[in-house]
Amino acid sequence: MNNGILFQGFEWFLPDNGNYYKDMHLKLDELESMGITAIWLPPVSKGTWSNDTGYGPYDLYDLGEFDQKGTVRTKYGTKDELVNLINAIHERGIQVYADVVLNHKAGADSSEKFMAVKVDSNDRTKQIEEPREIEGWTGFNFQARQNKYSDFKWNFNHFTGVDFDQLSGDKGIFRILGENKGWNLSVSKEFGNFDYLMFTNIDHAHPQVREELKKWADWFIEELHLDGFRMDAVKHIDSTFMNEFTNHLKSQHGDNFYILGEFWDSNVNANEKYLSDTEYDIALLDVGLHYNFFSASHNGESFDLRTIFDNSVVKLNPSKSVTFVDNHDSQPGQSLASFVEPWFKEIAYGLILLRQDGYPCIFYGDYYGTGGEYATQGFKDKLDVLSMIRKNHAYGSQDDYFNEPNLIGWVRHGDEEHTHKVVVVVSTKEKRSIRMFLGEDQASKVYADFTGNCLDKVQIDDDNYGEFIAEAGSISVWLEDGINL
């Protein structure tokens, strides 16, 4: 979508009151007006209890419809409220991507005894005990659902590992043994083999599992009229299965069905290999770029801005990059906490919203703020301005002026439908300026910084150049004075 903006519509510490879907409904008009073209919803299936964020999935078919795990609603609301929200989003011409968690299941209904071997948590390819019988929570029968939508029941054969032995009370990582059993091989090689992440780990090599997950995905898409998936924890899911799964989705729901993977690895070569392994059907969250932002925000003027896009998916493969500043995993209080410092937030969003490459994602927590023990303030007013400039003006070819470690800029030249120039300058040191060329017919025009960070005005000289300024430690976005955002 031309100049699209993805909005991650949640943060980790939303209240457990079941009002999320209704609250989001009230936000849709402002999100539409700022140029949001797709909303990424949290995992909407029933988790382990009412306050489960959805990343501890119990029953994928329960979208807030059945009395399971002590609640009918999920943390976010009921199925009817979810359907109403999606309908309202679609009425505004905005797409809906659902967060999909297929790596593991949680909150089993019963335990089972089976053979397993305990492995080294730092190298899961090494066993540290002899095989023995354990009792793991691997039975999922969903009695309250009474086979509605699916009669599939999960047992230990459908999983590769667990983290608790009920017989001994022993905690650790246990690889389940059996015919054709073992860790899935086409996963991240961190810790030797990173198939196991948490809870009861799904075996994506099992033929019954593969078919059930594809069947569920078809039902889920058709039930909610979804436009795309955000796939959780894909570096822990066998890429051979993911390739089969995405091919199925494309064949059943069209090539325009959008698939975004969370491959949390800042190594751009690992990202490129994953893209290749999945036949470039999956876009990836640009984790390397996020860590560049994090580093720049902590290192200030010692960070070389000319390297801000190094080791990023957007530099290597821009059409497969979803650029983001922060998300629910990187926010304070999370295991992957790497929150970009407040002074650099507006700069970082300028770097993803106002350039020609990448599909930018705005985080709910950066827009509205986050809750919990580590609550943070949002930047709604600043993000509104940057988003409106992207929506209405940031088009066409791009000239970069990445010439100094603490001072970078670029010019967007517009196109036939969007004729205004957009000039961006970032300084992480003192107040500085860059002389930039705007093209023909710009002489004598006056430009203003629409962020409000710099109150100076810039007049374009007879050679169609302007001396564009950024204040110390800030971003300025210059457009012709007097135009409407």
Q: State whether 305 and 322 are in the same domain.
A: yes
User: How many domains does the chain divide into?
Assistant: 3
Q: State whether 233 and 307 are in the same domain.
A: yes
Q: State whether 365 and 449 are in the same domain.
A: no
Q: State whether 186 and 146 are in the same domain.
A: yes
136 CB contacts (<8 Å, ≥6 apart)? 111, 112, 114, 116, 156, 162, 164, 165, 166, 174, 176, 200
Q: State whether 287 and 383 are in the same domain.
A: yes
Which tens digits make up the pLDDT trace of 141-200? Answer: 999 999 999 999 999 999 999 999 999 999 999 999 999 899 999 999 999 999 999 999
**Within a domain: 88:** yes
Q: Which of 262, 286, 366, 480 is catalytic?
A: 262
Q: State whether 181 and 312 are in the same domain.
A: no
Q: State whether 460 and 370 are in the same domain.
A: no
**What six digits make up the tokens of 129?**
């005990």
- Crossing angle of the two packed helices 79-91 and 20-33, in degrees rounded to 10: 10
Which tens digits make up the pLDDT trace of 110-124? Answer: 999 999 999 999 999
| 383 pLDDT more than 90 | yes
- The CATH number linked to 188 is 2.40.30.140
**Within a domain: 1:** no
Q: Which of 52, 81, 99, 232 is catalytic?
A: 232
277 vs 264, 280, 281, 361, CA distance in Å?
A: 16, 8, 10, 24
59, 66 Cβ separation under 8 angstroms: yes
154 CB contacts (<8 Å, ≥6 apart)? 105, 108, 138, 139, 140
- The CATH number linked to 366 is 3.20.20.80
Domain of residue 289, residue span? 6-102+207-392
63, 219 Cβ separation under 8 angstroms: no
Q: State whether 458 and 313 are in the same domain.
A: no
Place of tokens 């709604």: 380
What is the rounded radius of gyration, in angstroms, for the C-alpha atoms of the chain? 24
- Using CB atoms within 10 Å of the CB of residue 219, give its burial: 0 to 12 exposed, 13 to 18 middle, 19+ buried: middle
- The CATH number linked to 458 is 2.60.40.1180
Q: What is the mean pLDDT of residues 350-377?
A: 97
Q: State whether 349 and 373 are in the same domain.
A: yes
Q: State whether 58 and 148 are in the same domain.
A: no
Active-site residue flag, 262: yes
**Within a domain: 485:** no
pTM reported for the whole predicted model = 0.97
Share of the chain above pLDDT 90, in %: 98
Active-site residue flag, 480: no
> Which of 370, 392, 414 represents a domain boundary (last residue)?
392
Mean of all residue pLDDT scores within the chain: 97
**Within a domain: 173:** yes
Q: How far apart are CA 347 and CA 431, in angstroms?
A: 15
CA 274 from centre of chain: 16
Q: State whether 218 and 362 are in the same domain.
A: yes
> Which of 136, 167, 202 represents a domain boundary (last residue)?
202
